[in-house]
Amino acid sequence: MTTSYKRNKIALIGAGMIGGTMALLAAQKELGDIVLLDIPLAEGTAKGKALDIQESRAIDGYDAEIIGTSDYADVTGADVVIVTAGVPRKPGMSRDDLVGINLKIIKDVASKLKEVCPKAFVIVITNPLDAMVYTMQKVTGFPTHMVCGMAGVLDSARLRYFLADGIGIAAQNVQAMVLGGHGDSMVPLLSSANAGGVPVTTLLDPETLAAIVARTRAAGGEIVGLLGNGSAFYSPAAAAIQMAEAYLNDKKAVLPAAAYLNGEYGYDGFYFGVPTIIGAGGIEKIIETPLSDDETKALAASAGEVKSLVAGLGL
C-alpha cells in the first residue's frame, strides 16, 4: 500500500515584522509550506524574506517551500491563514487609533480570502484586534469557530513571564490567563494564576501583584516606546504560531483567544478574549472559568469598550 502525505499550507498575509518572524518559526517547526503575501508595492519584501529563509534550509534542515508573493492565487487552498496586514502603533498611539486605516485593509484582505481559501482556519493579529477579527468574520462569512484573533496567548505569556520573574522561577511553570479585549482594559486573572499549582497570591505580596497586572496591561506600549518605530513582533509571532500548530496538529490546546461569543460569560455577538480549546475543529470550545467579583466587573468594562468599538465599524 502506498500512502502519500500532503504538506499543510500556511498563508501569512502581511510580510512585515510579525509576518517575517512567523515564516521563520513555521519553517523551523516544519508546519508546512509557507506563502508570505504583501501588497504589490511590498512584494519585494515578501519575496526577499522568503528567499532569505529558504537559503537557511541547508543549515536548519527543513524542507518546507516558502514563497513571497502579492498574488492571492498563491494562497488558494491554504489550511491556515494568519493576518498581520495593516499598520502598527507609533509611540503615544492606542490600538484603537488604528481602526480607520486597518479596517479598510482587513475588509480588502477578507474579501480576497473568501474566494481562495474558504476552508481555512484564520487567525487575525492586526489591531485593534477584537474589532478586526469581527470584521474578518463578517466579510468572509466563514464559520465563527474558524475565525479567531491572537491576543490572549501573548498577553498571558507576558503575565506569566512577569509573575515568574517576580517569584524567581521558570516562566513555563506559571499558568495564568489574560481575558477580555486586547486593550488597556484587558483582564489579567490572578484568582486562578498559579506556579506549579501553588496560587501566586500566596507567593507574591499584593503590591507586587498589582504592579505586575499594571505592567501586563501596558506591556505592548512598553515595547512600542522602546522600539520607537513599530510594535512587538517576536512574541506575537510565537503566540500565533502556537495557535496554528494547535489547529494543524489537533492538539486540543487550552489557549486564550479572541473567539465569537454566543452567550458565554453572559455576552453575545462579538469577539472577545476567552479561554478556548483549539484543535482540528478550529475553536472547538469556549471554556467558562470561575472569576472573582472584581474580575467579573473588569471583564464587563472591557466588554463595553469592545462592543462600542465594534458598533462603530458600520458592518
Q: Which residues bind ligand A3D (CB under 6 A)?
A: 13-19, 38-39, 42, 84-89, 98, 102, 105, 108-109, 125-127, 129, 150-151, 154, 182, 230-233, 236
Measured from the CB atom, is 57 or 90 closer to ligand A3D? Answer: 90
Measured from the CB atom, is 157 or 195 closer to ligand A3D? Answer: 157
Q: Please identify which of the residues 49, 89, 145, 182 carries the catalytic annotation.
A: 182
- Nearest distance from C-beta of residue 132 to ligand A3D, angstroms: 8
Measured from the CB atom, is 8 or 84 closer to ligand A3D? Answer: 84
- Nearest distance from C-beta of residue 171 to ligand A3D, angstroms: 18
C-alpha–C-alpha distance, residues 47 and 19, integer Å = 12
CB contact set of 305 (below 8 Å; sequence gap of 6+): 181, 183, 185
Measured from the CB atom, is 31 or 224 closer to ligand A3D? Answer: 224
- Nearest distance from C-beta of residue 112 to ligand A3D, angstroms: 8
User: Could you tell me which of 195, 238, 230, 228 has the C-alpha nearest to residue 29?
Assistant: 238
User: Could you tell me which of 269, 293, 11 has the C-alpha nearest to residue 124?
Assistant: 11
The answer to whether residue 145 is catalytic is no
- Nearest distance from C-beta of residue 20 to ligand A3D, angstroms: 8
User: Could you tell me which of 37, 55, 56 has the C-alpha nearest to residue 46?
Assistant: 37
Residues annotated catalytic, as ranges? 182
